[in-house]
Each structure stands twice: as C-alpha cells, then as structure tokens.
A and B are shown apart, each in its own frame.
Chain A
C-alpha cells in the first residue's frame, strides 16, 4: 500500500493503482473520453489517447494522463488546478476544431460524452481552425458510421476485437488521416460485423449510432389503411425507465404498454409470447437430438446451440461457417412473431398481409438487420417490417410529450400478448436455457417440475457451466455471453473437446439487457445485473412460469400449427444458415 494526496485529501491505495482509480476511490471523478473499465469483462481500455484526464503531479514538468499513470508514494496531485483546466480546455478545443458543429441535430445530443465534457469545461469558443476530416457516412442495415465525429478514443475497437473478437474494426492510416474503419475502409456491411452494436454502446460521440426507423414508424402509424402492431422484447421493459430518469432496474412493463397504445399502435403484443413459442420449437429440437444421441445415433449433432440471438447467428456465419448445422434451426422470437402475426393473426383480424405492419421494439441493433434478411420475407414483404431500439422508443415517447413516469399501467393485447415467466428471462444471460430446461424437463420426464428456478444457470460470469438433473439423466449445460466467450466454447466444440449437451449463447455481455440498442451505460456494467434482477422479479411474479403452459401457445398449436417441429412449424418458425466467410479462390 502507498499513501499520496489528491486534491489535498490523503488516500492509501495498493501499489500499481492508477491515479484515475485512486481519485475515484475518494469520490473524485476525473473526466475522460477514452478510458473505459468493464469490470465484469475484465477489460480495461486505457490508451491514454484523449488527454482529457490529465492531472498535475507536484514536481513533475508535464501533466500526467491519470488513466495510465501509476500512483507513487508521497505524490501530491491536483485534479482541477488552473493548469489542468487550461490543458483540458485546449485539448477539447483542438478536438472540437475537427468536429462538425451539428450538436443541435445530432442523434447523440444529450447523451454525448464529448458534448457534456465540453459543457462541463465551459468551452465557449474554439481558438483553433485547421483541417477538418471529411468521410463518407457509412450506412449499414443496423449501424451508421459518421467518422467526421470520431475522436479516436478507440473504445469501439476494444469492444469489437477484445470483448467480441469479431475483428471488424481497426485503426487505419496514420496521423491526421487515422480513423477507425473496417478492412480496406469498405462499408461495415461488407465486413465481418455482426451488428451486435457494442461499439455503438460505448462510443462517446455521435460517430457510431443506430439506423433510426422512427420516422418510418410515425408515417405508418399515421396511415389509416395500415394495421400497425408491435411486439416488445423482454429486455426493453427492464431498461426503458432509465431513459426517463427512473432508477436502474425499474420494471416498466405496464407503462410501456400504455405508451405504445398512446402512440397509436392498433395492438400491443409481446415478443415474450414468441419466446414461449421458441421454447416449444427449440426445446422439442433439443429433446429430439438428445433422444437420438441416447439411442446411439452417431450422426446427431450435439451440443445444440441456441439460435435466438441474431448477433450470434451473424458471428458463426462469418467465423465458424463449418459449424452452421450445429445451432438450433429455430428462428429467434422476433422472427417467430412475424410469421405468426402475418399468417395467423392477420386472418383472425381480417387484415390483408400487405396491410399489416409488424414493428418490434428491441434492445438490439442486430435485430434491425435480422428482420431484413431475405429468408424472412414473403414476396419481398418482411415478416417483421422493421425493428426499433429501446432508445428509439424512448425518443418517440418524448416526441409525443408523454410523461412516462406518471403513465398508468396497462396489459398487453391478446392472443400474442400472453406470456410466461420463462419467456421474460430470455432477456438475460442464462434465461433461454433455463426456460428451455423448465419445459424440456416436464416433456422428457412426464413429471411436474416443482422448483422452476434453476439458479445454477444464473449469474454474470462470462462462461458458466451447470448440470441439470432430468430425473436421473444429467444434462451438461454451457452458457456464454459476449462473443469472445462464445468463441472459446465454439472452439472447444470444433475441436471435439466439448462435453455439453446444450449451450446458450448471447452476443452481448449480460445478454439482451446489455444489448446495443439499450440505454447507454457509458461503460458502467454494474447496471446489467440490476436489469437482470428486474427480469427475474417479473418471472417470479408471473402466474405461469413454463412456456408450454401458456394457454395461447396451446391454442396456437391446436388451431394452427399442429405440433412443435411439425410441417407448418418448419416452414414458418425454423430457418437455415449461410456461409459468409471470405473464401480464397485459387486461380
């Protein structure tokens, strides 16, 4: 331990602690634009590049970047001396001298770190004029890159390469020309990007944002010829409140339903219903493969991998295409909801397919891409027309002048609004496999599951494993969240070292609650556990907690689908995957 003083306060810290952390320990928040510590993921990003976090160390000639300068015994540090403030202002002015002045109309305005730090520093004038970066805006189906706004903090690179191991982004070129870009500065759409959106989630400026579909939605809601229905993913209700100043982990299910109805949706449904449907299909597929395996079928593919996360689907299509027959063929809940709405509900409602608009509210940016995939269209008409993020929904509610916190709480519409506790926990890591276990147990054993909480499957560790007892048959379950962790489990499967029967994978750290479309957590990952707890609370409070007991699911199979994994299910609720790896063709 070493002692030093920061802003005249004594502090004792472990050897090796940085000045930034030591200050934080005594409640001093030093501003920074590049530093990021994702404690749960054991990732510390401290390139010392932005130079906003500089502090004055008595006796040293130069100011020190606090994020990567270590404390020394007896140091006397000032974090807000005039010299420090002047330096920060100068650095900020230089950054702003190469930044577009379109804050008033920027998508990030209000949640932009660059803007808020410039405000806190009281920058009122920019004394420097010089060259300005001019890049073409890169629009992909999910993410928009406006590199004129990039400040080279390189947080996105850390997310893309170290956390997610996707490798779509790298710093390229040199000096003033340096920029973060995909290989050969091609568009994101042509790269290995999975659209997980974790880069967007940590970008401190408006350089990386989601493709916004709110204007399209407003147009459709205003069109009297169209029946516009909405589905909301489980993770949205656990985070939407944050956008309105509510405490992290507040459940706002009822208020969200009211808000959507006020916005003008003809029906407000729940993706959770489709999650229950996913369990019926995926669970049946799991038991089918498991049964064949136990009967000695050597060709059966085990472990079965979950397939409800579109970022994850993109990941294995790009990086592990040789294993594309291992994941379940069940579509994601979003893509199960779409065909049920347009083939079943539309008939019940007497609406023509072309007059029905299905919108999804998702914590996710990859969902924007997923619903545009050709295999999820009928004659060019997508099953799900478009997807908007939790953040976009919050903006819409603000546009409509609703006082969200004081809205009454209403219920989802039926039939596609009824859901069980099992489907609610889809939104957090471990939830899908727990939901599957609840149903698969009862189907496999024919017995009633007394204790539905599989607590061994819960938690925030990046890779977890648990054994689940199916009345004498022990199932090995693996769970990974974050694509870097998924890669480790996948490599084991590829190398024949995996002992698992089933693996749940979610692309984003924490699962959907940490999705790229959620309220920005600015690198504070402690919010994830609170959002997860909210979902487990909603699950515990539900009257029905097993997917196969959802009365509307039972009815849907009786009236329409037949049986799980049956012919109609295969057509409407299952999919196939593509090899997206760049092949080197030898001439």
Chain B
C-alpha cells in the first residue's frame, strides 16, 4: 500500500470541488480547472485525489493534464508569463520576444524562477491576432511586444 501525502485542508478543498461537480467523471476538465485555480498547479497527489473522487483512473487524469497546455504539474510563478506562439504572433517575431524573456529571467520554457516570481510558458493564440505578438502576464495582456520591450515589462513586476 503506497501512501500519498497531502495536507488535510487541500484534500478537503479538492473533495469539495469534486462534489460541486457531482463527482461526475465527465466533469474532469472543469474539476482540474478549479483545482489548478486553487492550488496554482496540479501535482501528482492532487491528481490522485481527483481520480479517487471522480472514480476515474489516475492514468486518465494524468493523460488529460498532460494533453492540455493550460494544465501544469509544476508551480507557476506569482506572475505567469505566456507568450503567444500562434501563427500571427509567430510571424511577427514572438520567438524573439520569448528568447528575450528566457534570457532575462534565466529559466527555460515551462519553468519558474528560483524566487517563485515568474514562470514562462507558450500558448497557441489568445484570439487577439491584431495585437500580434501578444504576451499575457497573469490577467494582463500586452500587445505588439518587441524584444526590446521585455526589460521594461518585467520592471513593472520587480517590486
């Protein structure tokens, strides 16, 4: 019998989230959305609890978590940076912007800075192609970003 460790309040919260979706296996994506909203990420322990509560296999939960780029198994930074790599943003230089963020923060895509402040990820089209290239940080959206703007953008969050 393998044991999985998770704090009591976290388990309670997860049980509550699952219950709010009637513990339906078909609500898995919604449950994971809520869980990530609450915990910031979806570690293995959280997936185990969700699987148990929804009566689906852990392999299935993990399959869904790894399929959707929105879900993450590593904690995101306090300010999660997403660079749009959709076609419009890409052709207008999103890659250079992304490289600049990586250079300035010294972390690769999908990871978080040591101080927990920033994380970098890519996404595919936020539906604001007119503003390409687009970067989102938390709830904020930046349009027509150039590599040269990156330092100034990061400064806004430094304090």
Contacts and interface: CB of A to CB of B under 8 A. Distances in A.
Interface of A: 161, 166-174, 181-185, 190-192, 321, 578-587
5 contacts: A167-B58, A584-B3, A585-B5, A585-B6, A587-B6
B56 interface: yes
A580 B1 CA distance: 4
A518 B8 CA distance: 47
Q: Which 10 A-B pairs have the closest CB atoms?
A: A167-B57, A170-B63, A170-B59, A183-B58, A183-B59, A183-B62, A585-B3, A586-B8, A172-B66, A172-B63
Contact of B48 (A171, A185, A191, A584): A584
Interface residues of B, number: 26
Contacts of A185: 62
B19 interface: no
Contacts of A584: 3-4, 6, 11, 45, 48-49, 52
Nearest to B1: A579
Contacts of A586: 6-8, 11
Interface in B48-74: 48-49, 52, 56-63, 66-67, 69
B153 interface: no
A587 B56 contact: no
A582 B59 contact: no
A583 B58 contact: no
Contacts of A183: 44, 47, 57-59, 61-62
Contacts of A321: 1
Interface of B: 1-8, 11, 44-45, 47-49, 52, 56-63, 66-67, 69
B6 to A, nearest CB: 6
A410 B63 CA distance: 52
B4 A583 contact: yes
Contact of A582 (B7, B48, B61, B62): B48
Given A582-B4, A582-B48, A584-B4, A167 B66 contact: no
A24 B36 CA distance: 48
**B2, B11, B56, B66: residue with the most chain A Cβ atoms closer than 10 Å:** B66
Contacts of B62: 170, 172, 183-185
Contact of A587 (B1, B5, B69): B5
A170 B57 CA distance: 9
Contact of B60 (A167, A190, A580, A581): A167
A168 B69 CA distance: 23
B1 A581 contact: yes
A465 B77 CA distance: 58
B4 A587 contact: no
B13 to A, nearest CB: 12
Nearest to B47: A183
B14 to A, nearest CB: 10
Given A580-B1, A584-B49, 18 more contacts: A161-B57, A170-B59, A170-B62, A172-B59, A172-B62, A172-B63, A174-B66, A174-B67, A183-B58, A184-B58, A582-B3, A582-B4, A582-B48, A582-B58, A583-B2, A584-B6, A585-B3, A587-B8
Nearest to B68: A174
Contacts of B49: 584
B3 to A, nearest CB: 4
Contacts of B58: 167, 183-184, 192, 582
Nearest to B6: A584
A148 B46 CA distance: 30
A169 B58 CA distance: 9
A585 B59 contact: no
Contacts of B67: 171-174
B56 to A, nearest CB: 7
B15 to A, nearest CB: 10
A358 to B, nearest CB: 30
B41 to A, nearest CB: 14
A170 B63 CA distance: 6
Nearest to B44: A184
A170 B60 contact: yes
A160 to B, nearest CB: 8
A68 B108 CA distance: 42
Nearest to A193: B59
B8 to A, nearest CB: 5
A168 B49 CA distance: 16
Contacts of B48: 582, 584
A302 B35 CA distance: 41
A185 B63 CA distance: 10
A391 to B, nearest CB: 27
